[in-house]
Amino acid sequence: MLNQLSDSLLTGNADAVASLVKQAIDQKLDPNNILNDGLIAGMTVVGQKFKSHEIFLPDVLIAAKAMNAGMEILKPLLVKEGIPSIGRIVIGTVQGDLHDIGKNLVGIMLKGAGFEVIDLGKDVAPETFVEAAIENEAQIIGLSALLTTTMPVMKKVVNLATEKGLTGKIKIIIGGAPTTSDYANEIGADAYCYDGINAVDCARRILGVA
The one among 65, 75, 88, 164 contacting other proteins by CB under 8 A? 65
Applying CB under 8 A, which part among 19-27, 71-79, 99-107, 138-146 lies near other proteins?
99-107
DSSP 45-69: HHHHHHHTTSS-HHHHHHHHHHHHH
Is residue 61 a contact point for other proteins (CB under 8 A)?
A: yes
| Smallest gap from residue 76 Cβ to other proteins (A) | 26
* Closer residue to other proteins (CB): 50 or 138: 50
- Name the CA dihedral angle for 20, 25, 29, 32, rounded to a multiple of 10 degrees: 90
Task: State the DSSP code for 37.
Answer: I
> How far apart are alpha carbons 80 and 140 in whole angstroms?
24
Can you tell me whether residue 8 is helix, strand or coil?
helix
Is residue 13 a contact point for other proteins (CB under 8 A)?
A: no
| Smallest gap from residue 60 Cβ to other proteins (A) | 9
- CB-CB contact of 145 with 179 (8 Å): yes
Q: What is the CA radius of gyration of the chain?
A: 17
User: Where in 171-210 is the site for other proteins (CB under 8 A)?
Assistant: 180-181, 192, 194-195, 198
User: Where in 19-58 is the site for other proteins (CB under 8 A)?
Assistant: 53, 56-58
- CB-CB contact of 58 with 112 (8 Å): no
* Closer residue to other proteins (CB): 41 or 184: 184
The residue ranges that bind other proteins (CB under 8 A) are 53, 56-58, 61-62, 65, 100-101, 104-105, 180-181, 192, 194-195, 198
